Amino acid sequence: MWNPVDRTVSHGPAVKYVSAVDDRFWEAEGLAPMALWDGLGSLWEGTDQQPQSAGGYALGVFSGGPLVLPEASPAQVAALYPAIGPSDTRFVDWTAEPFIGTGYSIPAPGEVTTVAPLLTQPFAGTLFLAGEQASPGFFGHMEGALQSGAAAPRVPSCAPLPRSSARPGPRPKQGPASAVPGATTPLDPPPATPGVSG
């Protein structure tokens, strides 16, 4: 029986604060567009390497764990960049977002050996979990989400169904498509519509 608690690792809070600016003002001041500060978290230029003609730039801050201080973000960024003068800002607290409710996974003692293996295997052979929490080598990182999502199709029980060699026919009312002669699988192309070309 499915119990989400069996597949839940501990999580920590995280926020993101983005300042939109009209130009790369930090270049004229001899400042770097990135910083790592114990009083703030990580700051970087979110528009790095984008063409100058695109217009608009952004400095983003990611803070997690004990650095989650929503009221402090604007003041802390201004302490690093006194001339910032953002044209717009946005603050996102992922713990307060519906359907998210957390910032990142950070397994508690024992969860790497008890919960993590369950996250990498399908439940009942059909339900696959993906995300940074399902990648033991990259908990809490975007790379973990990418790797766990890419790994699911390589799991034998998640391999694509073979294409039917039969002529497309009606979908079965129950049971798998492979159990009904002439039925199609979800991977078969839809039947051609007369007078419409693809």
Is the domain of 154 the same as that of 119? Answer: yes
Q: Return all residues near 84 (Cβ < 8 A) that are at least 6 apart.
A: 19, 21, 25, 59, 77, 78
- Closest by CA to 21, choosing from 45, 51, 49, is 45
Does 31 fall in a domain? yes
Tokens of residue 103, six digits: 């910032």
Final residue of a domain: which of 77, 96, 115? 96
Per-residue pLDDT of the chain (198 residues), as tens digits, is 888 888 888 888 888 899 999 988 999 999 999 999 888 888 999 888 777 766 689 999 988 887 776 666 788 899 999 999 899 999 888 888 888 888 888 889 999 999 988 988 888 888 888 888 888 888 888 898 899 888 876 655 555 555 554 444 444 444 444 444 443 444 444 444 455 444
Tokens at residue 29, please? 């001041």
Within 10 angstroms of residue 187's Cβ, the number of other Cβ atoms is: 11
In a domain, 141, yes or no: yes
Threshold 0.85, pTM exceeds: no
Token pair for residue 37?
């500060």
DSSP class of 127: B
Beta pairing, strands 104-105 & 41-45: unpaired
Q: Please indicate, yes or no, if residue 188 is contained in any of the structural domains.
A: no
CATH at 76: 3.90.660.10
* Number of structural domains the chain divides into: 2
Residue 112 domain boundaries: 105-158
- Are residue 77 and residue 20 in the same domain, yes or no? yes
Quick one: which of 134, 137, 64 has its CA closest to 102?
A: 64
